[in-house]
Structure 1
Amino acid sequence: MNWWLAAGSLAAVLALGGIARLLGLGGAQRLETGDDAIKLAEALVSGFEGKVGIVATDGQRAAVVGGPSDLVVIEPLGARHRATRYKHARVVMAHPAADGTKITLELQPAMMFRITVADADAARAFTETLG
């Protein structure tokens, strides 16, 4: 075994990994604020106008409300995000917890979605707007 060849190959792999990380490749971008979620929902769903957005504590999932019962759920899909619109969504439960406000939504009959939000004011505005 040629140790110089093995070391060179390892260095090349690590260099390519570093370049990919600098370019932001290899995973869904982290959502930081509700405004980021609103912009993304409006870009991914044609004709949707977001009013209040919330982002999960992990920064991967988000939800944006456009009006009473009008909701877009954003989830990671590889290196991108997937947005799904639900026209009859409702809040089932919202309660404070140690790690943030836990919100449970019914998207469709027998289809639930749960998200934990760090920003309590955004969670309150979200649940009031969704109705």
Structure 2
Amino acid sequence: MKTYIFSSVLFILTFFTAIPMTGQESTDGKNNYVLLTKKVAQLQPIILTAEALKAEEGNAFGDFQVIICGKEIGDITDPEKINHFIEKAEKAGVQLVACGFSLNKFKVDKTKVPRKMTTVDNGILHNFQLQKKGYKSISL
């Protein structure tokens, strides 16, 4: 399991540092990131990656958002599956975002979405809007 997490973190770090993000503007001089994921379990390597980037970049580390969408969106309403990640995300400076479109499509009770998570109407649109603002993006 440790090998899987380490490999995932290494892959994500390599991806972010190896691909030039041409044509994108950074308005605040900081490195901002957005990830789109379909599985709550992927939050573990994502948060580890955010922690590593924050340590590496220091003051240049900006906003880091993780958009959760897809058919497993209901997992965010299960405290046993999500609460640990919410705590880790807060400490790492990671904002967890729920896709409202997925919540509606898969009939997830929005009142059970943790209060510390943000909900957007459309996670894919939100991702594109952040990319237009210069955020580096990846989907898992």
TM-score, reference length from structure 1: 0.26
Q: Which has the higher helix share?
A: 2
Q: Which has the higher strand share?
A: 1
Larger radius of gyration: 1
TM-score, reference length from structure 2: 0.25
Greater relative contact order, per chain length (Cα 8 Å cut-off, separation 6+): 2
